[in-house]
Amino acid sequence: MMAHSLVKEAGLILLLAAVPASISAWLWAPTEGAMTDLVAGPIPAGHLDMATIAARQSDGEHFTWIDARSTAEFEQDHVPGAIHLPLNDWEAGFDRLMGEWDPAVSTIVYCGSAACGASEQVAERLRLELGMGEVVVLHGGWMAWTEFSQ
């Protein structure tokens, strides 16, 4: 009897929550494939795709690459010359960056894929701490780099 009323109360809350959630879904309808295909969408401000980076490199431009992935992923493979700067080991990574950083050279931050958020957080923190120079996110992350390099 007690368990019955418990489930009934919980069910009522779930039903009530479904009403505004449905209105919210109707007002801000998600676009089809918005999350599985984040790379294919418009490139957000502060991001660069591999094609643009490659074009700038072919014009003779150099970049400072920042790898914001985990240590295990970085040790497995990374962009040649990339500096490992994960959020959970900021001080050591930032010291490594300061040893090589040139404000005249643009900095590109990447994490695992378009679905990870670490590169945006690292880029945001670098913009605040460095205060100068271009800091952008590699659109599509490491996945985009490997696909482009094949």
Partner 1 sequence: MKSIHPEPKKRHEAPALVWGARICRFGVGALLLVAGGIKIGHPVGMAEAIARYRLVGEQVAQFAGYYLPWVEVFVGGVLLAGSRRSGAWLLAMLLAAVFLAAVGTAWARGLDISCGCFATGKSIDVTTLTTNVALLLGTGLGWYLDSRSRFIGKE
Least separation in angstroms between CB 90 and partner 1: 11
Over its C-alpha atoms, the chain yields an Rg (Å, rounded) of 21
**Residue 64: closest CA among 118, 100, 96:** 100
- Residues 82 and 109 sit within 8 Å (Cβ to Cβ): no
**Residue 62: closest CA among 134, 14, 137:** 134
- Residues 119 and 137 sit within 8 Å (Cβ to Cβ): yes
Q: Specify the residue, 70 or 106, whose C-beta has the smaller distance to partner 1.
A: 70
Q: Specify the residue, 88 or 149, whose C-beta has the smaller distance to partner 1.
A: 88
Least separation in angstroms between CB 74 and partner 1: 10
Least separation in angstroms between CB 6 and partner 1: 5
**3-state class (DSSP) for residue 75:** helix
Interface residues toward partner 1, by CB under 8 A:
5-14, 16-18, 20-22, 24-25, 28, 30, 33-36, 38, 68-70, 72-73, 86-88, 111-112, 115-118, 121
SS3 content of the chain, % helix, strand, coil (to 5): 55, 10, 35
Least separation in angstroms between CB 142 and partner 1: 10
Q: Specify the residue, 38 or 50, whose C-beta has the smaller distance to partner 1.
A: 38
Q: Specify the residue, 33 or 81, whose C-beta has the smaller distance to partner 1.
A: 33
Least separation in angstroms between CB 62 and partner 1: 25
Q: Which spans in 28-62 are helix H? A: 50-58
Q: Specify the residue, 56 or 70, whose C-beta has the smaller distance to partner 1.
A: 70
